[in-house]
Amino acid sequence: MIGVFDSGSGGLTVLKALVEALPDESFLYLGDHARAPYGERDNADIVAYTTEAVDFLMRSGCRLVVIACNTAASVALRTIQQNWLPAHYPRNRVLGVLVPMVEALAGVPWHREEPHEDDVLRYARVVLFGTTKTIESRAYLEEVNKRAPGCAIVQQACPNLAGMIEEGAPERVLLDVIETWVAAALDGHRGFAPDAAVLGCTHYPLVRHLFARGLPEGTHILSQPDLIAEALTDYLRRRPDFAEPGQGSVRYLTTGDPAHLRGLAVFMTVLHGQFQQVRLSDR
């Protein structure tokens, strides 16, 4: 069974892509809706909450967990992989959403941390939208620049956008906010015409069409859920010991109120299921 964790519901966009790519695998989704969104929280809280969620999923039988939250992956993943996991679950693995996107932007595999003189630059100009914490972490910026220093990245924080999407804000309101942030990113760098845009929050694919309306025509918007699904499929091909084909079940867990989320999976990702409430810690 593969665990999928997000601070709220944005990870459902990733789960949908994973289920479509790996229909025989079983998935356990956990949304920490009671403490969402993570994008404006302190780093220490993000690390603590994410570790708590990963531990819960592994105690529930998941040997492999995908952190389907850019904020959690940017702030907490390295600490979990290097410090916590070897001490608690040395045979398990935790993956994040950052690596597949960095590979797509840089055009080279993750293990390549230095450019080669024969590398061909895939994207010369990229605009990256994310939560405040994702942008502050500079994780995408630093990892892409290691591998493709010729790629110019303009970062733009979109405070509270994930929360607005989660709460079902009207599309007109979301469009006004998104157009403001797109303008802020591009107007702040006169003459910057992006080749590609990264929606660096798993909530943002739900409003991809609104970003497309604000961005210059021809800007390629990279699909994070599809990239993650491709990466996980490749990972399981290389590490079949983490694959458990044949069951094909999906369960949904939340730290929040299931009644509030009853129709959310269907509304957001055309996944059919009901959330069950769980408790991660004494709050």
Dihedral sign for Cα 192, 151, 103, 32, please.
negative
Q: Which residues of 54-90 are buried (b: 16+ CB within 10 A; e: fewer)?
A: bbbbbeeebbbbbbbbbbbbbbbbeebeeebbeeebe
Which one-letter amino acid corresponds to residue 121? L
201 is catalytic: yes
Give, in degrees to the nearest 5, the angle at Cα 18 between 13 and 23. 130
Does 62 participate in catalysis according to the annotation?
A: no
Catalytic residue among 62, 151, 158, 201: 201
Q: Annotated catalytic residue: which of 62, 69, 151, 158?
A: 69
Looking at 1-151, list the stretches that DSSP marks H as alpha helix, in order from N- to C-terminal side: 11-21, 43-59, 70-79, 85-88, 98-106, 132-137, 139-147
Cβ atoms 106, 149 nearer than 8 A = no
Query: Alpha-carbon distance 200 to 129, whole Å?
Result: 5
Give bridge partners of residue 93 from the DSSP assignment.
64
The tokens for 72 are 């959690």
Contacts of 259 (CB under 8 A, 6+ apart): none
- Which are the catalytic amino acids? 69, 201
